[in-house]
Amino acid sequence: MPDDRDVLGPETGPGLLGNTYVGEAAATEVAVSRSIDHHGPDEPLAEKKLGVLFWIAVGWVALVALAAIFANVLPLHSPTYEDFTAINARPSAQFLLGTDDNGRDLLSRLIFGARVSLVIGFVSVAVGLAIGGTLGLISGYRGGKLDSFLNAASFVVLAFPLIVALIAIISFWTPPTLFKITVILAAGTIPLFYRVVRATTLAFANRDFVIAARTLGATNRRIIFREILPNVVPAAISFALITVAIVIVLEGTLAFLGLSVSLPTPSWGNMIYQGTTNGDLTTNPYIMLWPALAMFLLLLAINIIGDRVRQRFDIREGLL
Amino acid sequence: MTVPTDAGAAGAAGPSGAAGTADADRYPDVGASDGPLLVVEDLRTAFRTTRGTVRAVDGVSLSVDRGRTLGVVGESGSGKTVLSRSIMGLLPASDVVRGGSARFDGEDLVTATPDRLRRIWGAQISMIFQDPMTALNPVTRIGRQITESLRLHLDMDRSTARDAAVELLRSVGIPSPEQRLRSYPFQLSGGMRQRVMIAIALACAPRLMLADEPTTGLDVTVQAQILDLLADLQQERHMAVILVTHDLGVVAGRADEIAVMYAGKIVERAPTRSLFAETRMPYTRALMQSIPRLSDPPGTRLEAIPGRPPQLIDRPPGCAFAPRCPYAQDRCRTEEPPLRSTTSPDHVFACWYPLVDGRPTGLPGPAAAPTSIPTSAPVAPPVATPVAAPVAAPTTGETPR
Amino acid sequence: MGRYLLRRLVQMVVVVVIITIFAFLLIHLLPGDPSVSILGPNDTPQNRAIVLEHLGLNKPLWQQYFIWLNQLLHGSLGQSYLTKEPVTHIVATSFPIDLELIIISQALAFAVAIPLALVTARRPNRALDRLATTGTFGLLALPPFVIAPLLVAVFAVGLHWFPATGYVPFTQAPATNLHDMLLPSLAITAGSIAIYYRLLRSDLIATLQEDFITMARSKGLTPRSIMVHHAFRPSTFSLLAAAGLNIGLLIAGTFVVEYLFAINGLGLALVNAVYQRDYLVVQGITVVVAVFFVVLNFLVDFLFTVIDPRVSRE
């Protein structure tokens, strides 16, 4: 709370309790914080907390993850059993989220579908970060021919129309399974991580503290691990979390193209596709609604987590 | 509308009267009152951090007259930069606790509204920053950076402002000013950038200039040029200057009065000549002695003050300099000495055992307890006391004024 | 300057050529061939062979590629195997549509993201900033294929303010065109707003801690003047770089929106061509998209030198 004044403003005002420096609207805030926190002018500032929203987000991600992992042992209907007596049923005691147009329980499809999204999202990003990030780190640090080549290559890869590549590769490597799609998407994120990590590494590799370490005789490996990596990791992690969101969305797009995990196996992407095309939104909006909502909340949570983590560790914003 | 570089009635270094008229023309809303231009009383600035409250400026009082120069000297961490920012009010907006007052021509800057401060900044008080490479906007042409203030405060139109900017650049000694208007900061040398910064600061003919380490990082020869330039411009415009620096040599030749800061407080303040002739505070003496002299034989060890400046969080009681002072006694470690004067009221210091005639009074021995030092002596003009003890002369070779 | 341009031009050509080679290889990697689309799935192998020979598809790959390249240098991109429509015509009708979508959506994105960032960067972590941050994360979490149906359901089907499908060329009826394009543009704009806002805000916060901002304050400039005239320009690097990538990706990536709104854009044409193994159409569109991407990023690089004169043009 104390760190929310205008960065540009020289706001001053008459003091409370001996000339306290207050902002335009912050006078009452200071008074309140004093009474609540009992901070006198000499007491240290409280550490910045991660915030309630952060923990809610963590909770949601954990909930989804746990549900997906333990889906098999949870008391759920089968996600693929088609109950023709209950087609397009509204949410009820029996089918907590309703059923789709083939009579399949939406709740269990949602939970089993979470597996696809989560695995694709986190695993492919983890792999892409590991490979692309390492390449970017080395490439950015050492420079030279390797760097020029990799940089040009990543540019070409990024310039290539994504859709064509995806369709071609997935069609070639049929049938699409969770594993294959994860691998393909992981490969797709490699040039992204390469570029981002490389850019961050470049920003640090020429700083004085690295040069200083080198003059002290540090080996390259030591410099990379002790000087550069700690500075690159926060940015890389927060970018990675955003990429998770992008990849999860990408899986949805693939589902639209019929290239994702195919029905009847559920994924949030193909459920949304199913919900918007097979039936009108008006006949059974729930088919699309639940996965869209779940995806929305999950992506939101991931982004919030990523942002708070970055805020915590980013020197520049940490000072504010 | 007079172009500011034409310093009008204050062309010659006249007495306050002539400058006062020009001031009255230019700033009709501020009365040309008598007395010092700036009076700072018990100014305090503290920053709240997660590790505690940093008392960067801990009760500073000083004053500056029109057309005079006050030098503020101190090590890094003494609070001198925060002091200049505090006087101006240019502090970060979060977790800052302020106290005391800083009256500029009667108006307290500490309690002024943001709008009022913005009208004063640039127009009546301006600041020169230490590093012109980072203080100038790197992606804006310098002409624009000058005309900005002119158009804002003096309401000039584009072409008048442009002409005024050319004149300003000329007056700070930049060759081919018309072409230079279109240059970017990175295209200029360090000395030229500093001159540009001075030009920007002078643009609206301020009455007070705060120069924060204006020569640090410049070549020695360039340093001298810049300081000379500042002195000339100041005389020309009857401007008050507060010159903040860690280098005693810089202020020795240029300041009328010098204040020495340590750990957020002023520990000695005196007219320049008195400071050098009758140094009271051992810290000041140590500062002087740490300046290497050209006349020293090669291989002379540099005199450094042992230890380091104190943490400004949770300071222990007593004199802040006590841990590093060669003459510290028990009283120094328990009681904080107040600022007081002895033989002359202009010269104040904060020490229980000040130097007298160059000799420390804090040594164990017969002259140990100096309770006999008279306080508040009758006003006497600074006597040209012969320099009795070896007091280091500033390296610039100039004698203190 | 001339040398620099020449060098960049050569680089761009090389990149485009490499991309076309890869596209060529990839498309031929796909199982099946155009004969299925032309003749249907149930025809005889002999007929297929005749068709393939007729289309020149039984030649070795490298030969086919050079024939295509030769055609390209003579100004022709070939024609669709299925409809016989010249590829250049296909591109000429669908490219402007995507271009318009992009222009509208990006203009909207900048119009929202830039002012929002300028305002919230001054007071980070305060109420408005928190709200904007969460809000934009929400936008990121709504992919086009979720937003589009929702928009249609609410505004088209529900309120009847906008049509759900259809497209009227700009030259024919500008007002209707813009009106109809609004919903599709909104579906695309959400993600862009989020990205641009986050990047600009982050850079602005960093810039505001620089010394020259303090100096600008000390000149008595108003906060608004400082934000607009001093803080903004140096903070646009990440924004521009991201915009370059984003727009480049969008030009052929709006497939879902085109599909849902029945707009005949490049994305739809591309995807259909891939499915129908209409090789020349795929090649042709890929070339156009690649050239667009490369030229766009070249412009972005150039803009960097304009924004920050210290960035050399070498």
pLDDT given for residue A307 in this prediction: 80
Q: pLDDT exceeding 90 applies to what percent of chain B?
A: 34
> Per the domain annotation, does A5 fall within a domain?
no
| DSSP summary character for residue A105 | B
The predicted model gives A211-222 an average pLDDT of 80
pLDDT given for residue B267 in this prediction: 92
pLDDT given for residue B366 in this prediction: 41
More confident call, A51 vs A295: A295
Please determine, for residue B388, whether its predicted confidence score (pLDDT) is greater than 50: no
- Tell me the two tokens of residue B44: 């305090």
Which residues from C are below 8 Å from B88, CB to CB? 218
The predicted model gives B259-286 an average pLDDT of 90
Distance from CA of C172 to the nearest CA of A (A): 31
CB within 8 Å of chain C, chain A residues 187-246: 242, 245
pLDDT band, residue A21 (cuts 50/70/90): very low
> Per the domain annotation, does A1 fall within a domain?
no
CB contact under 8 A, A10 and B93: yes
Distance from CA of C160 to the nearest CA of A (A): 15
Chains near C with 3+ CB pairs less than 8 A apart are: A, B
- Total number of domains in chain A: 1
Indicate the average pLDDT of chain B.
79
The predicted model gives C99-112 an average pLDDT of 93
Distance from CA of A22 to the nearest CA of C (A): 14
Indicate the average pLDDT of chain A.
75
Residue identified by tokens 């070498």 is C314
The predicted model gives B205-222 an average pLDDT of 87
In order, the DSSP letters of chain C are -HHHHHHHHHHHHHHHHHHHHHHHHHHHHSSS-HHHHHH-TT--HHHHHHHHHHTTTTS-HHHHHHHHHHHHHTT---B-TTT--BHHHHHHHHHHHHHHHHHHHHHHHHHHHHHHHHHHTTSTTSHHHHHHHHHHHHHHTS-HHHHHHHHIIIIIIIS-SS-SS----TTT-HHHHHHHHHHHHHHHHHHHHHHHHHHHHHHHHHHTTSHHHHHHHHTT--HHHHIIIIITGGG-HHHHHHHHHHHHHHHHH-HHHHHHHT---HHHHHHHHHHTT-HHHHHHHHHHHHHHHHHHHHHHHHHHHHH-TTS---
Most confident of B255-269, C155-169, C237-251: B255-269
Out of C214, C308, C309, the one facing B90 most closely (by C-beta) is C214
> Per the domain annotation, does A33 fall within a domain?
yes
Out of B121, B134, B140, the one facing C219 most closely (by C-beta) is B121
CB contact under 8 A, B153 and C220: yes
Which residues from A are below 8 Å from C290, CB to CB? 159-161
pLDDT given for residue C313 in this prediction: 54
CB contact under 8 A, A10 and B114: yes
HSE of C174 in the Cβ direction (CA atoms, 13 Å)?
1
Nearest CA in chain A to B91: A10
Please tell me the least confidently modeled range out of A221-230, C97-106, C252-261. A221-230
Please tell me the least confidently modeled range out of B193-197, C100-104, C142-146. C142-146
CB contact under 8 A, C212 and B122: no
The predicted model gives C65-75 an average pLDDT of 84
Please determine, for residue B145, whether its predicted confidence score (pLDDT) is greater than 50: yes
The predicted model gives B12-29 an average pLDDT of 40
pLDDT given for residue A318 in this prediction: 43
> Per the domain annotation, does A9 fall within a domain?
no
User: Per residue in C277-305, pLDDT tens?
Assistant: 888 888 888 888 888 888 888 888 888 88
Most confident of A180-184, B240-244, C19-23: B240-244
Structural domain of residue A34, as residue ranges? Answer: 14-319
Which one of C36, C125, C198, C232 would you mutate to disrupt binding with A, by most A Cβ within 10 Å of its Cβ? C125
Please determine, for residue A260, whether its predicted confidence score (pLDDT) is greater than 50: yes
Question: Can you tell me the distance from the alpha carbon of B175 to that of B180, in angstroms, rounded to the nearest whole number?
Answer: 8
**Where does B106-247 have alpha helices with state H?**
114-120, 132-135, 142-153, 158-171, 177-180, 190-202, 220-237
CB contact under 8 A, A164 and C142: no
Please determine, for residue C102, whether its predicted confidence score (pLDDT) is greater than 60: yes
pLDDT band, residue B370 (cuts 50/70/90): very low
pLDDT given for residue A314 in this prediction: 64
pLDDT given for residue C115 in this prediction: 95
Question: Can you tell me the distance from the alpha carbon of C97 to that of C119, in angstroms, rounded to the nearest whole number?
Answer: 34
Out of B94, B110, B117, the one facing A5 most closely (by C-beta) is B94
Beta-carbon pairs below 8 A across chains A and B:
76
pLDDT band, residue B184 (cuts 50/70/90): very high
Distance from CA of A153 to the nearest CA of C (A): 9
Domains of chain B: 1-294+305-401 (3.40.50.300)
> Per the domain annotation, does A107 fall within a domain?
yes
**B348-349 and B265-271 as β-strands: parallel, antiparallel, unpaired?**
antiparallel
Please determine, for residue A33, whether its predicted confidence score (pLDDT) is greater than 60: no
pLDDT given for residue A45 in this prediction: 65
Which one of A6, A12, A316 would you mutate to disrupt binding with B, by most B Cβ within 10 Å of its Cβ? A12
> Per the domain annotation, does A291 fall within a domain?
yes
Cis peptide before A91 (omega within 30 of 0): no
Distance from CA of B56 to the nearest CA of A (A): 13
pLDDT given for residue B72 in this prediction: 95
Q: pLDDT exceeding 90 applies to what percent of chain A?
A: 5
pLDDT given for residue C312 in this prediction: 62
Burial of B317 from C-beta contacts in 10 A (0-12 / 13-18 / 19+): exposed
Out of A12, A39, A43, the one facing B114 most closely (by C-beta) is A12
Q: pLDDT exceeding 90 applies to what percent of chain C?
A: 14
> Per the domain annotation, does A8 fall within a domain?
no
Please tell me the least confidently modeled range out of A154-163, A276-285, B302-311. A276-285
CB contact under 8 A, C143 and A252: yes
User: Per residue in A103-143, pLDDT tens?
Assistant: 788 888 888 888 888 888 899 999 999 999 999 988 888 87
More confident call, A6 vs A22: A6
pLDDT band, residue A46 (cuts 50/70/90): low
Task: Return the CATH number at A225.
Answer: 1.10.3720.10
Indicate the average pLDDT of chain C.
85
Nearest CA in chain A to C124: A4
> Per the domain annotation, does A253 fall within a domain?
yes
pLDDT given for residue B70 in this prediction: 95
